[in-house]
Amino acid sequence: MTSRLGGGSPLIGGGGIRGAPNVAPDGEIPEEMFPSPSSTYKRNPLVIAGGLLTAGVLVGGLVAFRNGNQNISQNMMRTRVLFQGATVALMLASSGVSVNQIFGNAAAKFQQQQQNK
């Protein structure tokens, strides 16, 4: 088992150069490494809902501030920060799964193809 940061990676042809592109030893880039965005990227509905909730609480807080309700406005802004943080966390969590699914499967297929040659 080799390290991702260096050492003979089968995707780099054993060179182990940090930051090198994922190419085969003969220099070809497999098509599976870069799938089309329309077929692979999916939107997480929880992220969309979190964004809408954040925007709704923000507008409510601004309206309360404009009407002079400082306590309600302050509570709404604190709630907005919580919703915004949860939305960012969902974005990070769902993007990690997507990247793993896209590039993890492509790398496994490429390694299997190289072993079958």
pLDDT in tens, 58-93: 999 999 999 999 999 999 999 999 999 999 988 888
Cα dihedral sign, 80-83-85-87: negative
Q: d(Cα 108, Cα 95) in Å, to the nearest integer?
A: 19
**Nearest alpha carbon to residue 18 among 2, 1, 40, 37:** 2
Question: What does the DSSP assignment read for 53-95?
Answer: HHHHHHHHHHHHHHTT-HHHHHHHHHHHHHHHHHHHHHHHHHH
19 pLDDT more than 80:
no
Question: pTM for the whole thing?
Answer: 0.50
Residue 22 is predicted with a pLDDT of 57
